[in-house]
Amino acid sequence: MQALTLFLGLSLSASALSTAADTLNETIADEVAAVTDRVVAWRRDIHANPELSNREFRTSELVAEHLRDLGIEVQTGVAHTGVVGLLKGDKPGPVIALRADMDALPVTEKTGLPYASKVRGEYQGREVGVMHACGHDNHVAILMGVAEVLAAVREELPGTVKFLFQPAEEGPPKGENGGAKMMIEEGALQNPQVDAVVGLHISQSDVVGRASFRSLGMMASAQRFDVEITGSQTHGARPWAGVDPIVTGAQIVNALQTIASRQVDITQHPVVVTVGQFEAGVRNNIVPETARLSGTIRTFDPNVRAQVHEKLERIVTQVAQSQGATATIEIDPGVPVTYNHAELTSQLQPTLEAIYGSENVSQPPPITGAEDFSFFQEQVPGFFFFIGGRPSDVPAKMAIPNHSPFFYVDEGALPLGVHAMSRLAMDYLRAGAQ
C-alpha cells in the first residue's frame, strides 16, 4: 500500500509538472502572437536603415532602448557596437545565450520593396549601397521579440538568458577587430558564464514554415585571401615591352579553379575557392603595373584547409613567376567550422519539431556558407539552425540567394522564429533546472 501511495504521488506530481509546462507553453505562444506586429515593424525599420560592419550605431541604440524598456540589464559598446542583454529569471537554473547578428552588406538593393534601403555608405574607400542582403534585419527583430516574450514570463524562467546582439558577422573592415571573436574577448560569455548558445539564420533555401539543422559540422570554415601582382607598366599597343599583371591575374584565377576540380577529392572533402574581386588599371590603353585579387576559401576539414592554403600560395607565386611577374598572397585566419554540439542538438531537436512540426524539420548536407557564430561554439556547446524565408508559392529553382540585391523574405517566418527561439531557451533552462 505504501508503494502504491508513493507511485500515485509521483504520478500526480509528474502530471502537475506536465500541466504547468503546457500552460507555460501556451502563454509563450500567446506572447509571440502579441509581439508579432512589432517584430515586423522593427524588421522593416532596420531593413530601411542598414549599417555596415562595426558601424551598427542606430541598430544597437534601437536594441538597447528596447531591452531597457523590458527591465533587462544592458551592456553596450561590446566589440564596438554590440549589445548584451541579461534577463535573470525568478527561479535558479543554467545560463543560455541567444545571438542575432546586426550588420548589413555593401549591396545596392533592387527589391523595389516599400521599405527598401536607399542608404549609401563607405566600404574599403568606395561609396556603396548598403542593404540587409543576408537577412540580419530579421535576426535582430526576431531576438528583440524573443526578449519581450521571455521578459513577460520571467517569473517562470528557471535560469538566465543572455541576448547577444552581435556586430560585424560579415567580417570587420580590413585592419579592424570585431564580430563574435571580439565579443568573446570582451567577456560576452562571462559574468555569468554561459552554458549553451543558440542562433538562427533565415534564407530562401527553404519555404516559410520549415527549419533545418545538422549535427556536428554544419557550415564551412572560411578564410579571405588577398593577392597583389606586380608587373611592368607599358603602352597597351606594345604589351611586349612590359609585364602584364592583368593577364597574369587571369591565369591565376583559372589555375585556382584546379584546386577543387583536380587536386582535392571533393567526394570526401568539399572545397570552394572563389575570386570575388579583380582590380587593375586606370585607362584602356595602359598596361598597369599592378593588379589585385581577393577571394574566399571554404573547407570542412582542418588538414584539407592547410593543403588548400599551400596549393593556393604555390599557384599564385609560380604562375606569376612564369609570366615574369611577382605576386604575394595573404590569407587571414577566418572563421572555423560551424559545429553543432551533438548532445545539445539532440536535446533541442524535439523543441524545434514541436514548433515547426517534425515533418517540416530536415537535416541538410553540409553548407558551404560560413558563420562566425562558430567562435561562440568553440567556447560553449552551441546549436545553430536555419529557418525558411521563401514564400510558399515560389518554387525552389526560383529561390533568391543571400547576398543578392534582390534578396527578400516572407515575413510569415518572423513569428515562427520568435516562437522557436523562445521555446528553445525555455526548454533548455527547464531541463537544466530539474
Catalytically active residues are 103, 169
C-alpha cell at 9: 504521488
41 SS3 class: helix
297 with 332: CB under 8 angstroms? Answer: no
With CA atoms as reference, report the closest residue to 229 among 328, 312, 315, 332: 328
Cell digits of residue 351: 523543441
Contact 50, 119 (CB under 8 A): yes
Pairing mode of beta strands 82-88, 158-166: antiparallel
Strand pairing report for 290-299 and 221-230? antiparallel
DSSP lists the bridge partners of residue 85 as 74, 163
Helix (H) / strand (E) containing 259: helix 245-262
For residues 424 and 148, the answer to whether their CB atoms sit within 8 Å is no
3-state secondary structure of 224: strand
Tell me the C-alpha distance between 378 and 336, whole Å: 9
Inter-CA distances, 318 with 55, 176, 256, 288, 361, Å: 39, 31, 12, 20, 48
**Nearest Cα to 253, choosing from 295, 314, 308?**
295
Order of strands, sheet of 290-299, starting from the edge strand that comes earlier in the sequence:
272-280, 290-299, 221-230, 326-331
